[in-house]
Structure 1
Amino acid sequence: MVAATRLDDPAVLFNTSGSTEAPKGVTHSHRTLQHSVRTVVGLYPELDSREHDIVGFLPLAHVAPVLLLIFTPLLSRLVVTYCRIEDYEDALRSVRATALLWPPRFYEKVAGELIARTQAWPRVRRYAYKGAIRVGRRMAECRWSSGHPSVLLRIAYTAALHCVFLPLRASVGLDRLRVAFTAAAAAPENVIALWQIWGLDLRERYGLTETAGCPVAHFDQAFPRPRYIGRKFPDPRFQVEVAHDGEMLARAPLLFREYWRNPEETDAVLRDGWFRTGDLIECAAHGEIRLIGRKKDVISTSGGKTINPQPIETRLKESSLISEAIVVGDARTCLTVLLEPSTQAKALTSTVLSDRLRAEFGRVNRDLARAQQLKDFRVLPRPLEAERGERTANGKIKRNAVVNSFATLIDEMYAGNDDTVIANHLRPRSH
């Protein structure tokens, strides 16, 4: 059987996450898996030059954890500890991982817990932390601008790293971490920035189930600028173009073969060797590519305006008080937003939290065009849960499910609008 197997034969069937529609089976061949793993090891050669420990807990039905936790160790020196999701904190402290792949939500959650710890420190230690953050921010800004830090800045940052940031990270078992990715969803800029200030070279890794890896990557820069997913590969086999509507088109040896028993969907996204990713991107003058959002998430208001909600949501999540933001407004007169408070926000009284969220709401609105501005917001009464179908297994928001779960809360924000008045007028009434 092995002798009869060809490189282009189907090797594995992955599920898409199902965040915007029903999950699809994605077929990958032995060849695409080889290319994907070799690309990972090529991007991070230290995975093969020394032994690395990684803690995994994401479901193995999806492409990223399978590639990194099962296939990559075959061609590298990666040592895997796999645990249940509820045990990952204990596993981190026990293993003290040197490599990590998490969705943004987990980096955000752990960062929130660490911030809460610093706020409980004695006064002198809090002052030391604030000073270290100022130094770390200057170092990060220098890295992002490709500048050269002064000798004094390097000395000050080394002191901040070893005296403040590494001991803080050690409290959750992340002081040895050297290779860190975030994937599966767009990461808030402030989350990546904070981890980089704390000395972690956190990189946003772009990839889809259909690409089994990354057609673009941060292959030539440590501590890359947040909000960017990398550059085009110099290898001519990896091609990325931008369609007229801003959609990323990719052509690479790691593309999938087909959707399992779904030729119509396959033909809709694979044309002449090019894959229509469904992601909207911008290419900056310095060659970096910025991910804008998903085409399927675009909102069409009743006034005919087409608005991408993800940049607005990302701006809101820059606040330390907001864990998740879900902009709604499809077929409505204007946009509103549902907010999930962060761990830090839960320590505030409801009145203080409402006032501070209102200030964040105003801050974001000031920078938005009139059609993009948010009319109102509501704080979710509970966290979004995978068990209720509001998140995928790897933490992505399922927008339609959230809208259905909190339909009453959303209707409150549109009370008095013409569309709501008409809807209420037509709603059947019991006699």
Structure 2
Amino acid sequence: MREFSVPPMVEPLRSGGLADTVFETAAREPGLLQVARRDPSDGGQWREVTASAFRDEVFALAKGLLAEGVRFGDPVAVMARTCYEWTLFSFALWTVGAQVVPVYPTSSAEQLRWVLSTSGARAIVVEHEDHAMTLGAACGGLPELQRVWQLDAGCVKALSDAGTVVSDEQVHRHRWAVTPRTTAAVVYTSGTTGPPRGCVITHSSLAFECDNLLAGWRGLMAERDEQPSVLVFLPLCHIYGLMVTVMCLRGGILMGHQPELGADELLPALQSFRPSCVFAVPYVFEKLFERARRAADETGRGRLFEQAAETAARYAEAVERQTLEEGPGPGAALRARHAFYDRLVYRRLREVLGGRTRNVVSGGSTLSRELGLTFAGAGITVYDGYGLTETTAAVTAQPPGRPRFGTVGRPMPGASVHIARDGEVWVRGEMLFSGYVGDPAATDAVLRDGWLATGDVGHLEDDGYLVITGRKKDIIVTSGGKSVSPLVLEERLRAHALVSQALVVGDDRPYVAALLTLDPEALEHWKRHRAHGEARGHSLDDELDHEIGRAVAAANTVVSRAESIRTYRVLSEEFSVDSGLMTPSLKLRRSAITRMYAAEIEQLYAR
């Protein structure tokens, strides 16, 4: 199949903008719980904010922005972790017709300067003094930048106080001037292959994306007659996180904010907030599963956990075949084993997410089929999707009740997917961006007669499910002429408990090799486990080499011999955002990694 389309479930936005939602909801249901905030004076307990209270805060802040000189169409940057104030500022800016320019809070001075200069930002909101110092190092040569506000210095209250001189009518005149085609945000790409590009996202494209998700997938977010709740912990500077925030407010979903992604901070927040649905990236689900496996090992239940995980995957695969009318479903013996492990293992895994979550959404990159099946068998169905900043987040998603694990689903309502002759995935729909800010040549290079050339390679199955096999630029061509997609090998390598990250190399080389990093917590756990086990007559280093060799051998089973990894190198530390080897959305910067580890790669081919 070369092309597949799904009709839209909603009409595109016909008038107004995103901020209208705040005012309309408050007028219709003033007591609706919209946001939950942490109360630091009460041990971090969650305190709900009603629709009317949220509107009043947005309105007061919008007045303050006008009083401080922000005008219709002005780009205003926000550099902060995921927090309530981030959402407050974005809707206040949309109320006055300004543009939100998200900035990753981990950005260097050089990266910040690039975003501010290319977007033409007139003002910026920073979270704390460290960000202010980064701005100080970056602000030379930025004549457009006129205002700086700092969250931890009380800028929200100061702006709201300053806005008391502005009339209600003046704010509403700005809001009523916003049209669906008005720019809502300039969101920058991850920059995995070059400088980030600012994608112009309109009010219409964001609304269309969110409204189709609400129309088609809302039933998965909570039990019937229950208000859904979502803990937003994805970076709001990423289109995925920004889209989830807008969707929550447009859909009357109770939303909380969690600034840290680390397990020690995220897991307690999930358990206290108890979301009905979770939106995350594969990295989060991978870490969650590995943490659960290590916890089982520590209590002597490691073998039980592995048996339970295997049963969960087999059970989910049988259910998947039955749902897709390809098989009879789980047999009696499998159902009995599944029920047994549900009481002992799966229930505990669900409790890690707060106990209410039965469906989760994964995006940003493809979740492995094996992990998707395991979660589904444990009672947490993962709905994988695919999208780009240029597509305002998801452009494909697993249909409700019919997920096909290992794919990224079918086109979203109102979207089309086309496979070009060279295997590149092209997409079309109302959710597409308007272009790259200040870069018409780059825009023309990817927009072709209404289609966006994504740069990803994949294929469509007969029933319209899309499988992503890699990036065009990442395809490795060995010196023997063999084309290798590194994605499948890297995913299989990361499936091993010890392997944190993997980068497959081999361009213009005689064979494929890999750079690996190990998960520090998993490695420490493995060493303790081996130290307390039976003496095997081998050193820990020898056993570790053997274990990593097993991971490589397992990865090689999914490819031909010509595509298999012949040698590898375990690096001393993980790739990170701070080192410049990962994007803030946790994608590997391949060119940066190969440059930094050029000597190690040469050694792999010197043997």
Q: What interval of TM-score do these two structures reach, taking the shorter chain for normalisation?
A: 0.7 to 0.9
Residue 120, structure 1, aligned to residue 298, structure 2: yes
Question: Alpha-carbon deviation of 1:270?
Answer: 0.5
Tell me if the contact between 2:217 and 2:400 (Cα under 8 Å) persists in the aligned partners.
no
Q: 1:150 to 1:76 in 2, by over 3 A?
A: farther
Give the Cα separation in 2 of the matches to 1:19 and 1:191: 25
- Give the drift of 1:407: 2.1
Contact 1:189 1:314 in 2 (8 A): no
Aligned counterpart in structure 2 of residue 149 of structure 1, from 315, 330, 344: 330
Aligned alpha-carbon RMSD (Å)? 2.4
C-alpha separation in 1, matches of 2:266 and 2:340: 30
- Show the counterpart of 2:242: 66
Q: 1:231 aligns with which of 387, 403, 410?
A: 410
Residues 285-334 of structure 1, C-alpha deviation per residue, up to 9 Å, x if partnerless? 34322111111111233444432211222232333332221001223332
Question: AA paired with 2:599?
Answer: T
Q: Whole-Å Cα distance in 1 between the matches of residues 289 and 558 of structure 2?
A: 27
Matched residue of 1:396: which SS? coil
How many Å separate the matches in 1 of 2:309 and 2:277?
A: 24
CA displacement 1:203-262 (0-9 Å, x = unmatched): 21111111113222212435x2321111235x5x42111100111111111111011111
Q: Relative to structure 2, which stretch is displaced further, 140-149 or 27-36?
A: 140-149
Change in CA separation of 1:385 and 1:126 when aligned onto 2, cut-off 3 Å: closer
The alignment partner of 1:338 has SS state of strand
Residues 233-272 of structure 1 mapped to structure 2, 5 A cutoff: 233=412, 235=413, 237-272=414-449
In terms of Rg, which structure is larger?
A: 2
Of 331-340 and 270-279, deviating more is: 331-340
| SS of equivalent residue, structure 1 residue 331 | coil
Partner of 1:273: 450
Matched residue type, 1:36: E
CA displacement at 1:128 relative to structure 2: 5.2
Partner of residue 92 from structure 1, selected from 250, 270, 279: 270
- What is the letter of the counterpart of residue 366 of structure 2? A
Measure the CA separation in 2 of the matches of 1:42 and 1:338. Answer: 43
Q: How does 1:29-428 map to 2 (within 5 A)?
A: 29-46=202-219, 47=221, 50-86=226-262, 87-122=265-300, 129=305, 132-146=308-322, 147-150=328-331, 153-154=334-335, 156-170=337-351, 172-222=352-402, 224-233=403-412, 235=413, 237-342=414-519, 343-346=521-524, 347-348=526-527, 349-365=540-556, 367-416=558-607
* 1:353-409 deviation digits (Å, cap 9, x = unpaired): 211222332343355334322221011211111100111112111111221222222
Could you say which residue in structure 2 is the equivalent of 1:420?
A: none
Q: Call closer, same or farther: CA 1:127–1:249 in 2, change over 3 Å.
A: closer
For residue 44 of structure 1, give the secondary structure of its aligned residue in structure 2.
Answer: helix
1:114-135 deviation line (CA, Å, top 9, x unaligned): 101111224xx55654554454
Instruction: Tell me if the contact between 2:271 and 2:355 (Cα under 8 Å) persists in the aligned partners.
Output: no
Q: 1:3 to 1:388 in 2, by over 3 A?
A: same
Stretch moving more, 179-188 or 356-365: 356-365
Q: Which runs of 5+ in 1 are unaligned?
A: 417-431
CA distance in structure 1 between the aligned counterparts of 2:500 and 2:235, rounded to whole angstroms: 22
1:35-93 deviation digits (Å, cap 9, x = unpaired): 01112212322348532332223222110001102443222323223333343233123
Gaps of 5+ in 2: 1-173, 323-327, 528-539
Describe the shift of the 1:111–1:250 C-alpha distance in structure 2 as closer, same or farther (beyond 3 A): same
Residues 187/366 of structure 1: CA separation in 2 closer, same or farther (3 Å cut): closer
For 2:382 and 2:467, the matched residues in 1 are separated by 16
Distance 1:410 1:281 in 2: 28
Tell me the distance in 2 between the aligned counterparts of 1:65 and 1:366.
36
Secondary structure of the corresponding residue to residue 229 of structure 1: coil
| Identity among equivalent pairs (%) | 28
**1:28 equivalenced with 2:205 (yes/no):** no
Q: Amino acid of the residue matched to residue 210 of structure 1?
A: E
SS in 2 for 1:228: coil
* 1:426 corresponding residue in structure 2: none
Q: In structure 2, do the counterparts of structure 1 residues 62 and 130 end up closer, same or farther at CA, with 3 Å as the change threshold?
A: closer
| TM-score of the pair, normalised by structure 1 | 0.87
Whole-angstrom distance in 1 between the partners of 2:350 and 2:406: 23
CA separation in 2, counterparts of 1:16 and 1:293? 18
In the alignment of these two chains, the number of paired residues is: 410
| 1: CA distance, partners of 2:449 / 2:302 | 58
Amino acid at match of 1:117: A
Secondary structure at 1:240 match in 2 = strand
CA separation in 1, counterparts of 2:279 and 2:461? 26
CA distance in 2, matches of 1:82, 1:128: 33
Amino acid at match of 1:388: S
1:45 maps to amino acid: R
Distance 2:522 2:298 in 1: 12
Query: For 2:444 and 2:358, how far apart are their aligned partners in 1?
Result: 41
Structure 1 residues 383 and 245, CA gap change in structure 2 (3 angstroms) = same
Name the CA distance, whole Å, in 2 between partners of 1:37 and 1:315. 32
For the 8 Å contact 1:69–1:80, the answer to whether it is kept is: no
Match of 1:419 in 2: none
Counterpart residue type for residue 421 of structure 2: H
Q: Tell me the amino acid that sits aligned with residue 362 of structure 2.
A: T
CA distance in 2 between counterparts of 1:7 and 1:367 reads 47
Letter in 1 for 2:260: R
- CA distances 1:125-151 after superposition (whole Å, capped 9, x unpaired): 556545544542331121221243346
Whole-angstrom distance in 2 between the partners of 1:145 and 1:128? 26
